[in-house]
Amino acid sequence: MSKIEWTQRTWNPITGCTPCSIGCQNCYAKRMSHRLNGMRMEKYKEDFKIKIHEKELTKGKFQNKGKMIFVGSMSDIFHPEIPIEIIEKIFSIMEFQSNNIYQVLTKRPERFKEIKYWPPNVWAGVTIEHRDYIFRAELLKETKAKIKFISAEPLLSGLELLDIKSLDWVIAGGETGPGARLNKVGWFDNLKAKVHAEKKPFFFKGYGGFPKKAILPDDTCQEFPNGVLLTKNYIKKI
């Protein structure tokens, strides 16, 4: 099981990454990798260095589980150091595991154009943590993915110019952990209003380290796209 609220499991056939935008400053995956390296876990013996785990690239790993799976919680599978052949292999495995829903999230959507086919059970997502990266949404819209989503986390500015038409889902949250940066309640309220004006689902993870007082109602926290209801134990299409 995953502690990430908007998924059920994680799958990391690749670990490690390098910074590419301001959202990377306090990367939770890098922090976690250091911790796992200190625990002498084999998979993280090279810490946060980019590494492809061939043993993870097996078709039977999640077969017939019926889960929602976040791919690359400890990496970015579209990192420029990852050969397209490896990405294609990951996609073929996800397509084979058709009973699962796979969520692919990246800060490097310029590589989306290299994907010739998006299986219907693979959701495409981009991180937009600041207004400077709104262009990622336009690259996302060019994909053939059935579900397209945005992760506005850690949200570090307002996203007033973000156009969510033709997108399916928005996740938002503040930064957590050591060095968490300030955010403004209005950024979240405005984004929620924008998403709901388009009658799209909005998943609010929380304000992170700041502010302490939550204003958004709890009922915004469990909205998923395309008639998918997520519970702790299963995915049910409704």
Per-residue pLDDT tens over the stretch 54-103: 988 876 667 767 889 999 999 999 999 999 999 999 999 999 999 999 99
Do the Cβ atoms of 53 and 85 come closer than 8 Å?
no
- Judged against a pLDDT cut of 90, whether residue 223 lies above it is answered with no
Tens-place pLDDT, residues 120-174: 999 999 999 999 999 999 999 999 999 999 999 999 999 999 999 999 999 999 9
Q: pTM for this structure?
A: 0.90
Q: What percentage of residues in the chain have a pLDDT greater than 90? A: 71
Task: Report the alpha-carbon distance of residue 71 to residue 14 in Å, rounded.
Answer: 9
Q: What percentage of residues in the chain have a pLDDT greater than 70? A: 86
| 209 vs 216 pLDDT, higher one | 209
Tell me the two tokens of residue 83: 């050969």
**What pLDDT is stored for residue 220 in this prediction?**
46
Tell me the two tokens of residue 19: 């910074």
φ/ψ bin of 60: left (φ > 0), alpha (ψ from -120 to 50), beta (otherwise): alpha
Report the candidate in 5, 11, 3, 54 with the shortest Cα–Cα distance to residue 222: 5
Peptide bond into 154 cis (omega under 30): yes
Tell me the two tokens of residue 48: 């946060």
Task: Report the alpha-carbon distance of residue 130 to residue 141 in Å, rounded.
Answer: 18
Q: What is the mean pLDDT of residues 232-237?
A: 49
Chain Cα centroid distance, residue 187: 20
| Parallel, antiparallel or unpaired: strands 51-52 and 14-15 | antiparallel
